[in-house]
Structure 1
Amino acid sequence: MADASLNLSLPLLQASQAQKHITQNEALLILDGLVQLAVLSRSQDTPPTDPGDGARYVIAGAGQGEWAGQGGKLARRHAGAWAFHTPRAGWLAWVVDEERLLLHDGEGWGDLPAAFGMLGVNATADATNRLAVRGPASLFDGGSGDHSLKVSKAATGNAAGVMFQSGYSGRAELGLLGSDDLQLKVSADGTEWVQAVTVDRANGHVGIGKAPGPVRLEVSGGIRGTSSTAVFLQLINSGTSGTQAWIGIPDWNRSAFYIYGSQVDIMSMYDTPTRSHRLFAGGSERIRIASGGEVGVGTTTPTARLHVAGPVRTGSYLKAALPSAASVGAGTLAYVSDAAGGAQFAYSDGSQWLKLRDGNPV
């Protein structure tokens, strides 16, 4: 029969052994020294001057004094003497003065492995999902400083992204997906994917439903804005002039669509109360297209197809420079500075220019 256990070398009771309690107590003392192992230090090669019973150390170097030749072993103090134990692969020891957990690999003491092949936290990791976490939330905390989460890929054609799933079926993916541009893709079934947003890595240009173009934002398809109050798009010149323009549907004057650069310069594409199109300048309405198609310049109540409140001026032509009467059509007016009989208005009858004064050719 063996006189010691195989793993911890605990002394074993022998048949017909006298004073069995001594052997049993020695085994218990070894267990007390090795189980839930915590050593005071691993940096000393010489015994402390006044060690207390129960003190444990991992001996540094080759050891000196009473520890000579015991380097790397566990020194355990009991009843004023040192006992030494040879550690084996898999033993763990907490080092008090370093607040560090050590692992013995069969040759020496060292830190726990810096890398694990896979790790599951309340979940089962596998060859694809090397890290698996199951629970309501995960926290990455930078404490009082910064914190960043990095996802890296080997080459441009690879993917580095974060996928969002429903029932383990992909619905959205964000990252560098087959290129070095930032992309957002969505899917209805986890199989067919739609490119939703792309951000060009070189200039920050954004494409929605398409690749980014030469401007900051390009959209493939319609754009809709909804609001319970005013809906508008604001365009701001951030230069020294500081001007800005608005395109929208304000609720204060119920315009269906309007553009303005200031509160007094407004182009109303359709005004609900008047059912007209209006153009403002300098704080006053300058042009109106009424609901019946009448155009007023300088008047808000046009009564003819073109109603001008003020003088009307046409371009001045020499006879040789007049456009073709056929091309401009019958009824077109022009001022001819060298017409026969003196400068005067002329009109086109669809084939030639005639003087307005007497109806003769210019």
Structure 2
Amino acid sequence: MTDEDSARLGLPLLAAGQAQKELWHNEALALLDIAVQATVEELGRNAPPAAPQPGQCWIVGATPTGAWSGRAGAIAGWTAGGWRFVAARAGLCARHLPSGETAVCDGIGWQTGEVRATSLVVDGVQVVGARGPAITVPSSGAMIDAELRACVEAILIMLRKHGLIAS
């Protein structure tokens, strides 16, 4: 990135009095087309595919080869003008088309399979929320029936609180 590039996505910026502004503008649009609402065909691929189609993208692996050399971790997108790359930055997300999972760059690499949230809402009903306190396990003795009832009641309360069973 230089002073002529945007801070977050490394998009080329226009300079005052610059000739052929349309080239810089079109380059920025091509990179935005890759980065915004990013979707990728494959995660961690090291070699460019043999016959990419315009608009297809991949997350480049750790040991890239060929036209992808030196672009580890970037999103590589095929355009009418050839390969374009968006460097990975913490927080950048891409949908993996085959699995439907979201890949998130954590600043070191791309992570999949993890969803971070404070709650899960389905059809307007919260079904999972913050973790509750531990439930005491019955330990036997003369009061085992009372302990077991208290344990089952605590489990039911938490299942209802999380919306996993109806109240």
In the superposition, the TM-score normalised over structure 2's length comes to: 0.70
- Does the 8 A contact of 1:4 with 1:10 survive in 2? yes
Q: Contact between 2:55 and 2:79, CA under 8 Å: does it hold in 1?
A: yes
Instruction: Give the corresponding residue for 2:147.
Output: 180
Which residue number in structure 2 is paired with residue 55 of structure 1?
56
Q: Secondary structure at the match of 1:180?
A: helix
1:153 to 112, 134, 149: 134
Change (3 A) 1:138 1:14: closer
Higher helix content, 1 or 2: 2
Aligned residues between the structures? 140
Corresponding letter in the other structure for 2:3: A
Aligned position for 2:95: 94
Relative contact order (C-alpha < 8 Å, sep 6+): which is higher? Answer: 2
Query: Paired residue for 1:104?
Result: 105
Extract unaligned runs of 5+ from structure 2: 139-145, 152-167
The verdict on how the C-alpha distance between 1:102 and 1:49 changes in structure 2, with shifts beyond 3 A counting, is same
Is 1:70 the counterpart of 2:51? The answer is: no
| Displacement after TM superposition at 1:44 (Å) | 2.3
- CA separation of 1:3 and 1:59: change in aligned 2, threshold 3 A: same
Q: Take 1:107 and 1:74, find their aligned partners in 2: how far apart are those partners?
A: 14
- What CA distance in whole angstroms lies between the structure 1 residues aligned with 2:136 and 2:52? 58
- Equivalent residue, structure 1, for 2:119: 119
Q: 1:182 to 1:73 in 2, by over 3 A?
A: same
Residues 120, 139 of structure 1: CA spacing in aligned structure 2 closer, same or farther, 3 A cutoff? Answer: closer
Structure 1 residues 40 and 139: alpha-carbon distance in aligned structure 2, compared to 1, 3 A threshold: same
Write the distance in 2 (CA, Å) between the matches of 1:139 and 1:120. 6
What secondary structure sits across from 1:10 in the alignment? coil
1:134 Cα deviation after fit: 9.9
Kindly name which structure, 1 or 2, has the bigger radius of gyration based on alpha carbons.
1
CA-CA distance at 1:180 after TM superposition: 2.9
Q: What's the CA shift string for 1:14-57, capped at 9, x where partnerless?
A: 11111111111111111111100001111421111111122210
| Counterpart Cα distance in 2 of 1:17 and 1:5 | 16
Structure with the bigger percentage of strand: 1
**1:85 alignment counterpart:** 86
Tell whether the 8 Å contact from 1:94 to 1:100 is kept in structure 2 after alignment.
yes
Structure 2 counterpart of 1:322: none
Partner of 1:42: 43
The residue number in structure 2 matching 1:10 is 11
What RMSD, in angstroms, separates the aligned Cα atoms of the two structures? 3.1
Alignment identity in percent?
31
AA of the residue aligned to 2:92: W
**Paired residue secondary structure (2:32):** helix
| TM-score, normalised via structure 1 length | 0.34
Q: Distance in 1 between matches of 2:85 and 2:120?
A: 37
Asked if 2 retains the 8 angstrom alpha-carbon contact of 1:103 and 1:112, the reply is no
In the alignment, is the contact (CA less than 8 A) between 1:45 and 1:62 conserved in 2?
A: yes
The residue type paired with residue 36 of structure 2 is V
Distance 1:16 1:83, change over 3 A: same
CA displacement, residues 78-101 of structure 1 (integer Å, 9 cap, x when unaligned)? 225212221111111001122211
